[in-house]
Structure 1
Amino acid sequence: MSDDSDEDKTHDPSQKRLDDAHQRGDVAKSQEVNTWFLLAGATLVLSSFGSSVGTGLLVPMRGLLQNSWMIRTDGPGLLLLGKSLAYSVLSAMGMPFLFLIIAAVGGNMIQHRLVFSPEGLTPKFSKISPAEGFKRVFGKQAAANFLKGLFKLIALGAVMCIVLWPERFRLDAMVHFDPSVILGVSTSLTLELLTSVVVMLAAVAIADFFFQYRTWYEKLKMTLQEVKDEHKQSEGDPHIKGKIRQLRHQMMKKRMMAAVPKASVIITNPTHFAVALSYERGMAAPICVAKGMDNIALKIREIAGKHDIPIVENVPLARALYAAVKIDQEIPNEHYHAVAEIIGYVMGLKRGLSGRRT
């Protein structure tokens, strides 16, 4: 099942899928990059702070040994001695340790943005599953780690031989050197060896990062069905959206029909379109309270007939108003004259009818 799904994952992961993976703590990460940053930081610390750290530790230790006979052995005296030594060590090692912490954080930050996810701490049965364990031992990742480890072993051996082989005679003679000289020579060789290893591991870290990123990216690829499902979740189910549109249309239709009795005139074409306009003295322009075509137009005319609302047939005006004006909006300026003539005619009819009744 998983093999088939992996073969079907032909679509690149969406931004939402990448963001969800980041929130879970699932990011592309190479341990070799972290190792390289720590090793490079240690090399820089040794070359920059080595002498100051040595001096910072040597002075208090020398004073401790020279004045050991003056050390108080009671409780407060030992506590004071511990604090003094702790301050000396922190002052000497504080900056190097801070630099190493920055290097460790930088090794992660350069690969991905900060991750705060408790999901990685949640127990998962897949981690103790024999099948998953078999995949981890004999999978592509395990093969890559084996080849990487083998290459590092061979490369480190080659680097050590290149750096130390020319110094083999001097190393043999170092047993007769003064300890202060041995310290300087060993520090110099250590820095040279670390620098060579850092240069070599840079290539390993870069290659491993691209391999890990590609593996992570391929794992997050999506099948066609996953793309469709995510689109439905983000954009909404088309069936639900269609139902919502249908409900909105029904509500708008009911509201329009309830507003038809308030209309002043109904303009039709005569059967396909119907536009109900409302106008009272003092209004800037007539307002469209309802409009429709075919069945809705017929319903508007039926309600108008029940409420004795005048129906005026004007084919071009009915079509133009239906296309140009929206519900509860004033009619456009270009139709003022034509609508004004009709409303004036309707008002004249109403005045004539009221005059006859009196």
Structure 2
Amino acid sequence: MSDKTEKPTPRRLLRARTDGDIAKSAHLSTAMSAALWSLLLAFEAPHTFSSFVHMIDAVSGLDASRSFAWQFKAVLNALLEPGKGALIMLGAGMLANVIPELVQTRGLVSFRRIAPDLKRLNPVEGLKNLFGLKVAFETVLMLFQFAVLIFVAWRVTAEWLVQIEPAYSLDPLSQLALASLSHSRLLALVALSQAAPAVADYAMQHVLRKRRLRMDKEELKREYRDEHGDPYVKGRRRALHRDLNR
């Protein structure tokens, strides 16, 4: 049994953060990214969709009797607005994936976590991790998430099946708009369903980090000596100082 039962000192926590050892939840990043994507689709997709509809109308209504240069310029002008919308969607989508990571890491960049480490090849440590608390928690969490996602998929599929027959009476562009709204709602439901597991995983990552950084009594003594100096040496210096002042 490990004798590391003492809580980590603030100095050890700071040193671990500098080395890239932080509490970070991949489930929380995924849930936040899905939520940002659903908001992006809800606010930006209608404008982007409308600009593509106008582009199709403009391109399909070109005057074929005009010169090729005029038609080419007209096509470029028609592509300008939907192209801007697509670039905005692309940039915002990239931010939706980056922002959750930056929020959790607070901008920390460390290359020590990705550097090769021979300790990771130790089969004994790998076997211990296989039956550890982290693996057990992640297994239960993944099973719970799988059950929730099946329920969400069943509810959304049932609603889509109800809309199939009425959707046939719509024109193709309206069908595309309905599909876009359905996908946006699906992303929002997925993000909402993953909120509780993400918060639980984030809390567990903090618990596991504290356990991973626990210290024994000798390490605490070394930490104290490094930070405040050796008590024996300081005592001897005070005694010598008193002798010199006599």
Give the TM-score normalised by the residue count of structure 2.
0.80
Q: Check conservation: 2:59, 2:78, Cα contact below 8 A.
A: no
> Which residue does the alignment assign to 2:171?
178
Q: Check conservation: 1:56, 1:91, Cα contact below 8 A.
A: no
> Which residue does the alignment assign to 1:32?
27
Q: Check conservation: 1:39, 1:198, Cα contact below 8 A.
A: yes
1:12 aligns with 2:7: yes
Change (3 A) 1:49 1:19: same
Cα distance in 2 for residues equivalent to 1:231 and 1:62: 74
SS in 2 for 1:120: coil
Change (3 A) 1:57 1:183: closer
> Which residue does the alignment assign to 1:51?
46
> Which residue does the alignment assign to 1:91?
84
Cα distance in 2 for residues equivalent to 1:217 and 1:247: 42
> Which residue does the alignment assign to 1:139?
132
**Structure with a larger share of its residues in helix:** 2
Identity %: 25
**After the TM superposition, which residues 322-341 of structure 1 pair with which residues of structure 2 at under 5 Å, given as runs?**
none
Q: Check conservation: 2:35, 2:192, Cα contact below 8 A.
A: no
The residue type equivalent to 1:235 in the other structure is: H
**After the TM superposition, which residues 107-126 of structure 1 pair with which residues of structure 2 at under 5 Å, given as runs?**
107-126=100-119
Q: CA deviation at 1:29?
A: 0.6
1:187 aligns with 2:183: no
**Structure with a larger share of its residues in strand:** 1
Q: CA deviation at 1:223?
A: 1.8
Cα distance in 2 for residues equivalent to 1:175 and 1:25: 54
Q: CA deviation at 1:62?
A: 6.5
Give the count of matched residue pairs. Answer: 241
What are structure 1's unaligned runs of at least 5 residues?
72-76, 254-290, 293-358
**After the TM superposition, which residues 186-335 of structure 1 pair with which residues of structure 2 at under 5 Å, given as runs?**
186-245=179-238, 248=241, 253=244, 292=246
Change (3 A) 1:170 1:87: closer
Q: CA deviation at 1:128?
A: 3.0
Cα distance in 2 for residues equivalent to 1:30 and 1:57: 38
Of structures 1 and 2, the larger Rg is shown by 1
Q: CA deviation at 1:13?
A: 1.4
User: Given the alignment, which residue of 126, 148, 152 partners 2:145?
Assistant: 152
Task: Tell which deviates more after alignment, 120-129 or 130-139.
Answer: 130-139
The residue type equivalent to 1:99 in the other structure is: A
Q: CA deviation at 1:119?
A: 1.3
